[in-house]
Chain A
Amino acid sequence: MIRPEADTLLEIVDLQARVEDKPILKGVNLTIKAGEIHAVMGRNGSGKSTLSKVLAGHPAYTVTGGSVRYRGADLLDLEPEQRARLGLFLGFQYPVEIPGVSNLEFLRVSTNARRMEKGEEELDTFAFEDLVRERLQVVQMDPAFLERSVNEGFSGGEKKRNEILQMALLDPLVAILDETDSGLDIDALRIVAGGVNHLASPDNATLLITHYQRLLDVITPDYVHVMAGGRILRTGGKELALELEDRGYDWVDQELAVLEVA
């Protein structure tokens, strides 16, 4: 939903970042307003996953230039946990397994961290169980997964549902979903996408990072950005995604080559 008068949630200006000594992001510009759904597409290695990790504050990436403002504050100055508490959410492409840590307890601690930041009361075990059981519906997840260790032994689809469950509990303002569609069969994709659509509202925004059109068949983006060589090369509406689907990424490579020579 594009509304010119909506609040700006995220403003990325000329963002540059490297991992170890390798520059990956070479000047990303992107502004996201409340109510919008953005999709960033690109080949492997184009920097789109790096963008999501840098925004969430992964310690392996070093920002070397540019700025990111999140609701007016300097996002890059915040620890990852502060970013999360303030409503920035990253849905991981490969959610890690954390043996020994109960999924339910993990969800409760993180939900409370976010609630406290919002000035809401902390939920005790019982109140939280009620909330989590209600939110499980969003992703049609079996409550048995609450009793297990975080992501341990979950299938690819279950891990992704667990990510969207976390999103449903944390109620983010900006949700970045990194390749949430990868590894999902068509039914799981529908459930996950249904959850994302359900959670989208005029007050929050979603940034989908994806390879394929198929996610965008079920979640309609307001903007599509094509990333290559650590930059956003082109921005358009949802038809840009269809163009990519038709023509492939070769033309992107050609444009990039021209750009890099210049």
Chain B
Amino acid sequence: MSSSTSVGDLVSQPYKYGFVTDIETDKIDKGLSEDVVRLISSKKGEPQFLLDFRLRAYQQWLRMEEPNWAAVGHPVIDYQEMIYYAAPRQQEKKASLDEVDPKLLETFDKLGIPLSEQKRLSNVAVDAVFDSVSIATTYREKLAEHGVIFCSISEAVKDHPELIERYLGTVVPSKDNFFAALNSAVFSDGSFVFIPKGVDCPMELSTYFRINSGDTGQFERTLIVAEEGASVSYLEGCTAPMFDTNQLHAAVVELVALDDASIKYSTVQNWYAGDENGVGGIYNFVTKRGHCRGDRSHISWTQVETGSAITWKYPSCVLQGAHSVGEFYSVALTNNRQQADTGTKMIHVGPHTRSTIVSKGISAGHSSNSYRGLVQIGPKARGARNYSQCDSMLIGDQAAANTYPYIRSQQPEASVEHEASTCRISADQLFYLQSRGIGFEEAVSMMVSGFCRDVFNQLPMEFAAEADKLLALKLEGSVG
């Protein structure tokens, strides 16, 4: 038998989004100080309230320590060695795509996200973010007819300052954690979505994040607000070039759902993960939180995490409204030397709140994959219910999987269930499939997709097949 059929080889498929776009950028000098924060704010022409927000966050950040409780390890990050603002040199966001630098359009074409009128995805509006700056948003007019606002957060600051002032930082306060404070001080761009009362957003919204430059920190800020009875499904995708240095990506995502509103937020994360020896790759230290502010509101997180050298993120739900529902469906795949410490927090505040957690961790190579989740039931959360299921799959015998479930209940009438399992793709299972004519890689990918099915079923249709393929690609060469 040839050695090509080992699980060990299956994961080391070359990263196909690793190219760099050669484009002129406007960068400031490296390092972080109050002056840098002011400079970013003035370059973006921001109103006073936002500058104050940034400065306050900067002061808070100075007093905070980088957290070290996650089950990941990395060299000390020197925050003065990083550049905090880089933008493709293109002064104003162009009204028409014809005016956007063709190199940028080409980049997104290569990534499979065509933006031009003829080629763009039907029924999915895309905000394309390049090095933290939004370069184009499709279908804006069509969305505007329904009163839906979908634009970059910088534009929202200019065009809808009252909404930004009302909601920014209300779900993830700047002092929430070290990386949230850093983001609040220096965030560059990201997406803003506003769905007015009673509107069911007529199409999928999607933001595609592309990191291009090698020495720039990425600090996106996304804010999604669904008013009473509104609903929206939003998807983010991410890729980055291959560099042998690490880039920090510290984003903040805030979701607000008012009475009877529903937000479905899906992520397919495929940042560059570093090479097989763990050199290079993105540090993905992200704070994502949804606030079910209104009664019967519903927030659902679905994530497929396949990239990054280190992933450190816990998309969470604060279930404040009575009968509100939070969901978290996650597939996290690590390979080679990747490290992931990811999970969720379900904070039950209001009565009869419900949450569901389904986490599927797949570890291959020498990687380490931890699920860390908190289910907290507050004293007023009468009749709250949670169901958690955390499954781990090991591929090969060098990978690690951990589960850290934390349950805190101050409410005797709550019900909390937790199930966990660990399995391994065995040589006998693979041989069984092979002996039925199924190729080795297809056999692995069948087993992995079977394992992830509960989560893939939650993804928007257009992306479920993509996620399946992405996983198969990431696992190529990993089984041995």
Report which A residues bind B (CB closer than 8 A): 56-60, 79-81, 83-85, 89-90, 92, 95-96, 98-102, 105-106, 109-110, 113-114, 117, 149, 166, 170
Contacts and interface: CB of A to CB of B under 8 A. Distances in A.
Contacts of A59: 1, 5, 427, 431
A79 B2 contact: yes
A249 B447 CA distance: 42
B326 to A, nearest CB: 25
Contacts of A110: 433, 436-438
Give the size range of B's interface with the partner: 20 to 34
A106 B430 CA distance: 12
Contacts of A170: 436-437
B450 interface: yes
Contacts of A57: 1, 431, 434-435
Contacts of B442: 109
B446 A109 contact: yes
Nearest to A62: B1
B418 interface: no
A101 B447 contact: yes
27 contacts: A56-B431, A57-B1, A57-B431, A57-B435, A59-B1, A59-B427, A80-B1, A81-B435, A83-B435, A89-B435, A92-B432, A96-B426, A98-B432, A98-B450, A99-B423, A100-B447, A100-B453, A101-B446, A101-B450, A106-B446, A109-B442, A109-B446, A110-B433, A110-B436, A110-B437, A113-B437, A170-B437
Contacts of A101: 446-447, 450
Contact of A166 (B1, B431, B436, B451): B436
Interface string B41-78: 00000000000000000000000000000000000000
Contacts of B436: 81, 84, 106, 110, 113, 166, 170
Contact of A98 (B2, B427, B429): B429
The majority secondary structure among interface residues of chain B is: helix
A84 B453 CA distance: 27
A83 B435 CA distance: 7
B14 to A, nearest CB: 23
Given A110-B437, A113-B436, 13 more contacts: A58-B431, A59-B1, A84-B434, A85-B437, A90-B435, A92-B432, A95-B432, A96-B426, A96-B429, A100-B453, A101-B446, A106-B436, A113-B437
A30 to B, nearest CB: 20
B428 interface: yes
Contacts of B426: 96
A100 B2 contact: no
A99 B446 CA distance: 10
Nearest to B3: A59
A60 B434 contact: no
A81 B439 contact: yes
A81 B438 contact: yes
Contacts of A102: 450
B440 A109 contact: no
A81 B431 CA distance: 9
Contacts of B5: 59, 79
Contacts of A109: 438, 442, 446
A255 to B, nearest CB: 33
A167 to B, nearest CB: 10
Given A58-B431, A80-B431, A99 B1 contact: no
Contacts of B439: 79, 81, 113
Contacts of B440: 79, 81
A1 B427 CA distance: 37
A100 B432 contact: no
A101 B1 CA distance: 25
A84 B435 contact: yes
A84 B450 contact: no
B10 to A, nearest CB: 14
B3 to A, nearest CB: 10
Nearest to A114: B437
B447 A56 contact: no
B89 to A, nearest CB: 49
A155 B437 CA distance: 24
A117 B437 contact: yes
User: Which of A100, A109, A113 gathers the greatest number of chain B CB atoms within 10 Å?
Assistant: A100
B393 to A, nearest CB: 9
A98 B1 contact: no
B480 to A, nearest CB: 10
A223 to B, nearest CB: 24
Contacts of B423: 99
Nearest to A97: B429
A100 B455 CA distance: 12
Given A79-B1, A109-B446, A149-B450, A96 B438 contact: no
Contacts of B437: 81, 84-85, 110, 113-114, 117, 170
Contact of A80 (B434, B446, B453): B434
A109 B432 CA distance: 13
Contacts of A89: 435
Interface string B1-24: 110010000000000000000000
- What are the 7 tightest A-B residue pairs by CB atom distance, in nearest-first order? A100-B450, A113-B437, A110-B436, A84-B437, A80-B434, A101-B450, A85-B437
A125 to B, nearest CB: 15
A49 B1 CA distance: 19
